[in-house]
Chains A and B, each alone.
Chain A
């Protein structure tokens, strides 16, 4: 199933398929290791509902929802 990262539920694992953001923001995400093919999972959600912390390549990285919306993923065989 393909969707965007902000839809991923707590504890679910997915694989990044595409980044729908540009410029510095795209760079930053790629530097952190968020690229097509990267497995990613929700580690926890902030008490106020946003941001969400994701487990990517062994680190825990918090992203705000509007950013997560720009990251396309497939959920499933994770």
Chain B
């Protein structure tokens, strides 16, 4: 359903201690409270992932009221940015990740995204996809679904898809993937209320997501993955994405191998794994 464009709000309910939050806004229509850089006391961590140039930073800005660099070329965001928003009576920390084509990471900006999804363990991962390039975007979605099934698919750029004569059956897509799908045109804030609603429900667990299992063509590969996954599960009973980790280890992914040997994986598996701040972990704050 189309939402009209919301006017730039004038109220500023942000705590007065926060000088950066110039556009913090109480958005009555959607019960959204943009908190700018204030992520204190958040109840949930939400990550924004997706291919480059799909509108992640646009979504980030729409929710937090911040102004991350957006522009029409791939690779603008290279360091994750954090911001906060409130919806209904909960506070969320939102992390804008660099765009990646896959999680097989070859460059530093892609590492940032993958490490956060695997080791930062967000409560909800919003995968922002480009409705006009669905096929290539879904390749990444399937990879993310192997890591976590607490995923909301933000089907962005539907305005552009419409202009190009494409329409996407989001119900079918949701059924195929096993996670909720929200059509959006983030630049004009269409779909923002639906997205918030869906994120809340996944965060609270009132929507049961069940990611479709991915099988790997070859029977031998499949067997090796299962065997290694069992082995990992025995050592780390709390881990949920053992199949994915097994797969990465079979492929010889150095990042994951390091996580096994230096104990990062073990800490992840601990029930109350502390969710360290993203910026602390990467050792740098964004500028």
Contacts and interface: CB of A to CB of B under 8 A. Distances in A.
Interface of A: 24, 27-28, 31-33, 57-59
A27 B136 contact: no
B106 A32 contact: no
Contact of A32 (B132, B134, B136): B136
A58 B106 contact: no
B101 A57 contact: no
Given A24-B106, A28-B106, A33-B139, A58 B101 contact: no
A33 B137 CA distance: 10
B239 interface: no
Contacts of B133: 57-59
Nearest to B133: A58
A42 B101 CA distance: 21
Interface-centre pick from A27, A31, A57, A59 (highest chain B CB count, 10 A): A31
Contact of A33 (B104, B106, B132, B136): B136
B104 A27 contact: yes
B102 interface: yes
B136 A59 contact: yes
Contacts of A27: 102, 104, 106
Nearest to B143: A31
A31 B104 contact: yes
Contacts, number: 25
Given A27-B106, A57-B136, 17 more contacts: A27-B102, A27-B104, A28-B101, A28-B106, A31-B101, A31-B104, A32-B136, A33-B135, A33-B136, A57-B133, A57-B135, A58-B132, A58-B133, A58-B134, A58-B135, A58-B136, A59-B133
Interface in B74-106: 101-102, 104, 106
21 contacts: A24-B106, A27-B102, A27-B104, A27-B106, A28-B106, A31-B101, A31-B102, A31-B104, A32-B101, A32-B136, A33-B135, A33-B136, A33-B139, A57-B135, A57-B136, A58-B133, A58-B134, A58-B135, A58-B136, A59-B133, A59-B136
B147 to A, nearest CB: 16
Contacts of B101: 28, 31-32
Contacts of A24: 106
Contacts of A33: 135-136, 139
Nearest to A56: B136
A32 B134 CA distance: 13
B63 to A, nearest CB: 27
Contacts of B132: 58
Nearest to A33: B136
B50 to A, nearest CB: 14
B106 to A, nearest CB: 5
Nearest to A58: B133
The 10 closest A-B pairs by CB, nearest first: A31-B102, A31-B101, A24-B106, A58-B133, A33-B136, A57-B136, A57-B135, A59-B133, A27-B104, A32-B101
B72 to A, nearest CB: 13
A31 B132 CA distance: 17
A53 to B, nearest CB: 14
